Amino acid sequence: MSRTLARLTRRATLAHLRHVSPVRPGAAPPPVKRVYDQIEREFGLLAPPIALHAADPAVLAAAWCMLRETLLVPGTTTRRARESIAAAVSAANACPYCVDVHGAVVRGLGGPDGPPPALPAVLAPELIGVAVIFHYLNRMVNVFLQESPLADVPAPLLGGAHRGAAWVMARLARREATAGTSLSLLPGVADTSRRLPADLRWAAGLPHVAAAMAGAAAVIEDAGRRAVPPAVGALVRESLADQPEAVTPPWLDARLAGLSPSDRATGRLAMLVAFASYRVPDSLVAEVRAGGYDEAALVGLSAWAALTAARHAGGALATAYEAAGSAH
């Protein structure tokens, strides 16, 4: 069922992309085709939140490996529990596309109707991994995909479409993936899997997740070195460390004031991706493109900002987990 469904839905799912050209399976270069094949085989669809990365094949592989090894590979928690965390993070990040998709999976697997619950303050390491990848994907989806996978469905048909999506997604989610088989898609994973950054320490006891996260982080850091001006990178990191209570336009303008005029548009995009991706306007993406960024550089800039913010969120969840453990 899944491969047939994947072939039948390719055109529709790739139509969800914004700001980047879809790379169709029949015309995909080999590194992209290898990732696409595994996505369709194991996820069941050419998932737009991953396909949006195809302008940079290494970042595409990184995004898929993080998602697969945290969400699809079975562990000590159920798939419904992992999908519930995905939906909760997506709601917190104001990502309606991901709420629709993963809320449908939760309902299809027997979860309650209604909006996703709030994200718990303390998560086990396996669920921290799911939270981190969705903090990342939500930010990318808010920039590069349409608002909902059902955006083109007429209002009178939405109820049935939601029920059908829940049934299909639940059937696809009941399959299990073998740990670690995506890692060969990731450039240099053998060299990075032993060097787990401090903010990814929560993955240390999960070898396949640790390898995926460390390898993906290295790939996306490399993309950032190519696409993110040094002053912009420093600003994003400093701003995350300051943990603002509210991301208001005056706060953002004050932060950006120290950048040179040539870095101002890329800085604004990186900061909005990191802090308020749902507020990225099309005009800002167009301004960055006009400044010389091609699609690969645009994906690299956004991916770096998104993962830097996601890693920061994961570090905070790890600290809460460690504190809860020391209290017992």
Domain boundaries, the chain: 2-221, 222-326
Please give the residue that has the higher pLDDT: either 112 or 278: 278
In sequence order, the 6+-apart residues with CB closer than 8 A to the CB of 22 are 14, 15, 51, 54
Contact 269, 285 (CB under 8 A): yes
pLDDT, position 1: 47
pLDDT, position 23: 97
Question: What percent of the residues of the chain are helix, what percent strand, and what percent coil, each to the nearest 5?
Answer: 70, 0, 30
Exposed e or buried b per residue across 135-169, where buried means at least 16 C-beta atoms within 10 angstroms of its C-beta? bbbbbbbbbbbbebbbeeeeeeeeeebbeebbebb
pLDDT over 90 at 169, yes or no: no
In sequence order, the 6+-apart residues with CB closer than 8 A to the CB of 252 are 268, 271, 272, 275
pLDDT, position 155: 54
pLDDT over 50 at 221, yes or no: yes
In sequence order, the 6+-apart residues with CB closer than 8 A to the CB of 103 are 87, 115, 116
Contact 18, 145 (CB under 8 A): yes
Query: What are phi and psi for residue 168, nearest 5 degrees?
Result: -65, -50
**Alpha-carbon gap, residue 321 to 123, rounded angstroms:** 6
Name the CA radius of gyration of the chain, rounded: 19
In sequence order, the 6+-apart residues with CB closer than 8 A to the CB of 141 are 48, 49, 52, 95, 97, 98
Mean pLDDT of 229-257: 94
Q: What are 209's two structure tokens? A: 């997740």
Digit-coded pLDDT (tens) for 61-93: 999 999 999 999 999 999 999 999 999 999 999
Could you tell me the sign of the dihedral formed by the alpha carbons of 306, 239, 313, 103, in that order?
negative
Predicted confidence band of residue 193 (pLDDT cuts 50, 70, 90): very low
Digit-coded pLDDT (tens) for 295-321: 999 999 999 999 999 999 999 999 999
pLDDT, position 192: 47
pTM score: 0.93
Digit-coded pLDDT (tens) for 118-151: 999 999 999 999 999 999 999 999 999 998 776 6
Q: 283: closest CA among 301, 265, 297, 258?
A: 265
Predicted confidence band of residue 9 (pLDDT cuts 50, 70, 90): confident
Average model confidence (pLDDT) across the chain: 90
Contact 232, 268 (CB under 8 A): no
